[in-house]
Structure formats: C-alpha cells, structure tokens
Amino acid sequence: MNTRPPIITHIDLYLTASGSVAFLRSRQESTDGQIVFHGYVMKTVKGVTVKRDLIWLPSGHCISSEQEADRIVSRA
C-alpha cells in the first residue's frame, strides 16, 4: 500500500516534471469519488503561447494527458 503523502494538497502553483509551472485553480470530486485538481500550464510553441487545461490527482499524476512531462513533482 502506498503511504506517501499527496504532492498536491491545495490550490497553488506547482512544478511539473518538464519544468513548467502548473497553475491550479479548483479542487473537485470526480464522478467516481476521487479528489481531482483542475488547472493549466502555459507553453510557448514556435513563438505562440498555448494554454493547456489539465486535471491532476493529489499524487501529481495528470489524468487528462497521461504524459509523464505533465506530472506534478513539487510546489513552486
């Protein structure tokens, strides 16, 4: 059983595995009863800034993209 404390504990700024800043803006309970955090990361691609809306579990796992780069690793 995993006894590690959650990385995400409240609405704040966090860092992803890729080094991006994640801006968390809401905490909700999903349809299956899990607590999830909604937020976004900003990324510049070819000079254009793109906002990516994402959803994370308290563990830091990004359930909307499933990409390791979007995993939250710490508070900013």
pLDDT tens for the chain, 76 residues long, are: 556 789 999 999 999 999 999 999 999 998 899 999 999 999 888 999 999 999 999 999 999 999 999 999 999 9
Is 28 within a domain? Answer: yes
Domains in the chain: how many in total? 1
Is 4 within a domain? Answer: no
CB count within 10 Å of CB 72 equals: 27
Is 2 within a domain? Answer: no
Domain with 34 in it = 13-75
pTM of the model: 0.88
Cα–Cα distances (Å) from 29 to 32, 34, 36, 53, 65, in that order, read 8, 5, 6, 17, 18
Tokens coding 2: 């995993």
